[in-house]
Structure 1
Amino acid sequence: MPSRVNLTSADLDEIRQSALGAADPLGVAADLADAADTGRLADPDDAGYALALAAEIAESRGKLEAALRYVERAFDTYAKRDDSRGGAVRALRSRILFRTGRDDEALADLEPLRPLLTRYPDAASYISAALAAGGRDRIAEQWLTEAVRDGLAGRAEPTGVDDAGVLFFLLQQRHRVRHVLGLPHDSHDNLADRLETELAGAATGAATGDLVFWSQSEFATLLDKWPGLSEAYGEDWDEHRARLERDLVRRGGGTLLSGTVAGLSGFGDPAVPATRAGYASQLATGPARITWPPERNAACWCGSGNKYKKCCLPRSRSAGAAALR
């Protein structure tokens, strides 16, 4: 990619979404590192984010030594902070160390992160992903179980997702790890299932219309007519597609329902959640359905005309950007 002057945080987010589909992803990684070196970042505090992103790109292409060099620099930039950003970079370094056969160092990096499990929603994901890279799923299950017990200590069982808070993410990640290990359900798994069912119901019920997909032209018309629907469907079309992609990744697959402004208009006031839910229910019985996911080299489900791997596939990774910034 051509070098850009003064890369902004938004530019880095965009690169994160598109780099793996670029013609020369390793060149993108090198340019990100150069931007951190030469002051081509609009916000100097983004240096750690740029370097961690370079490390992820190099890791994805099997260039582990380069990935380790980038992540070491990211670590020196801000990973010593005792927060989720620092934790995410430390976990990334551990993941790369595992993949280079330096297991003892990787585990030593991860052990101090355990307190983050009960403090930050994304910690369960990046810590267990690092352990999985080293074939340490049983350690991940142990750590997550202990964190869940700590989260439940001295309190009543949560009555809903909002009530659970960080505990919800712990329960869900523990549930996934135990599934990988083939372990039988226990009471914590049952609680995870109950909260997941509640969340899925909210996503397709009266509260939101998350799985209704609006084409680019329909989306523009939708927000022009009802600006308030940006809360339900996204501030812009990119955010709309990213929300759907991430939700479908979390669910492990599903179907998108193609909406039209004309169709929604016939259901009453779209500002009322029940109206949007009723419209989604009608769409679910019709032919306007898109099965997800497509093949990596197939046309993207969003209708952009680009290949899936270069369009919406990277959007499912954008959630991790917040942890690294």
Structure 2
Amino acid sequence: MSLKADLTTADLNEIRQTALGTADPLGVAADLGRAAENGGLADPQDAGLALSLAAEIAESRSKLDAAQRYADAAVSAYGDRDDSQSAAARALRARILFRNGRADEANEIVEPLRPLLTQQPDAAAYVTAALVVGGRARDAEKWLTEAVQEVVAERGVTEPADADDAGVLFFLLQQRHRLRHALGLQHDTHDNLAERLETRLANAGAQSAAAPAADLVFWPRAEFDRLVKQTDAYGATWDEHRARLEQELVRQTGAGRTGLAVLPGSVDALTAQAGIGGDPVSSDNRAAYARTLATGAARLPWPPERNGACWCGSGLKYKKCCLPRSRG
């Protein structure tokens, strides 16, 4: 397949959510590589992001040589940048090196990333994943434990009061809790805190006057066909799923909300959210994934123009596709 010219950051984030559900994911990866190399990006600074995405797609299809090339190129594209995206690219490169049996090189990359567990939590998940793939899950648990202790010491409190206060601490606790569960370790005080915060934040989201993000997760057709084999929580059919979304968007508009958008989902990302040994379609994981999507840039603004393309990607005009579903 061929991607459109001048890909934006939003385009890349959307591709991240949908690429694995396409007929030719590796073709998407190749197109991303060409776009980064040949000026096919609206912002040349997104070259590292495009190449990292290509690497993840190739890795997911066990094309490790291609994944390594893309990951190496992504790190080179970021150069001296010192942000979460460049750090994530380095951790991704280490993870693929581990998969390719090049553990010494991988360890040289991942060790200096240890401080990022508290400094750049967006990259921390990649650091943890690299360690797990490299057979260093116990080290990952130790790193996360020490990171949690560092954050608690800096705050001077052991338990955040609300979602806004949870921040980095909740993210670290959640990663650590899932990893310890996969390792079969007994709960400790930090695991108990992770569960209390998850419950508290889930309840707060359910009680909020603002619509829960879970109600706005959209599964493109290919992704829905995969997901419905595991759960019908989003609808028994794709038509039912789209109707639910359209009706919820209309309801929220009637409640005075503006700037609405649907949040494209990916089965692979939902599975990754659950962590090793987790249940991807549990209500807790689905809610956590929805919250993750709600904070990202990948979203489809709603509503489109009546004569514009429908938000669901069917190729039909909105007035002929999902608009009538609001009356269901």
| TM-score between the two structures when normalised by the length of structure 2 | 0.70
The correspondence of residues 24-103 of structure 1 with structure 2, limited to 5 A, is: 24-78=24-78, 80-103=80-103
Q: CA deviation at 1:196?
A: 1.5
Q: CA deviation at 1:98?
A: 0.8
SS of the residue corresponding to residue 58 of structure 1 reads: helix
Q: CA deviation at 1:253?
A: 2.8
Q: 1:317 to 1:220 in 2, by over 3 A?
A: closer
Q: What letter corresponds to residue 189 of structure 2 in structure 1? A: S
Q: 1:172 to 1:150 in 2, by over 3 A?
A: same
Q: CA deviation at 1:248?
A: 11
The correspondence of residues 71-220 of structure 1 with structure 2, limited to 5 A, is: 71-78=71-78, 80-153=80-153, 155-160=156-161, 161-206=163-208, 208-210=210-212, 211-212=214-215, 215-220=244-249
Q: 1:318 to 1:59 in 2, by over 3 A?
A: farther
Q: 1:156 to 1:225 in 2, by over 3 A?
A: closer
Q: What letter corresponds to residue 185 of structure 1 in structure 2? A: H
SS of the residue corresponding to residue 215 of structure 1 reads: helix
Q: What letter corresponds to residue 199 of structure 2 in structure 1? A: T
Q: 1:104 to 1:49 in 2, by over 3 A?
A: same
Q: 2: CA distance between counterparts of 1:191 and 1:216?
A: 34
Gaps of 5+ in 2: 217-242, 298-328
Gaps of 5+ in 1: 257-291, 294-312
Q: 1:162 to 1:93 in 2, by over 3 A?
A: same
SS of the residue corresponding to residue 237 of structure 1 reads: strand
Could you tell me which of 248, 253, 269 is aligned with 2:281? 253
Q: 1: CA distance between counterparts of 2:143 and 2:272?
A: 27
Higher RCO (Cα < 8 Å, 6 or more apart): 1
Name 1:19's counterpart in structure 2: 19
Q: 1:124 touches 1:173 (CA, 8 Å); kept in 2? A: no
Q: 1:6 to 1:118 in 2, by over 3 A?
A: same
Q: CA deviation at 1:82?
A: 2.4
Name 1:260's counterpart in structure 2: none
Determine what percentage of the aligned residue pairs are the same residue: 53
Q: What letter corresponds to residue 157 of structure 2 in structure 1? A: A
Q: 1:321 to 1:113 in 2, by over 3 A?
A: farther
Q: CA deviation at 1:162?
A: 2.7
SS of the residue corresponding to residue 228 of structure 1 reads: coil
Q: 1:67 to 1:186 in 2, by over 3 A?
A: same
Q: What letter corresponds to residue 261 of structure 2 in structure 1? A: D
Q: What letter corresponds to residue 14 of structure 1 in structure 2? A: E
Q: CA deviation at 1:150?
A: 1.2
Q: 1:117 touches 1:144 (CA, 8 Å); kept in 2? A: yes
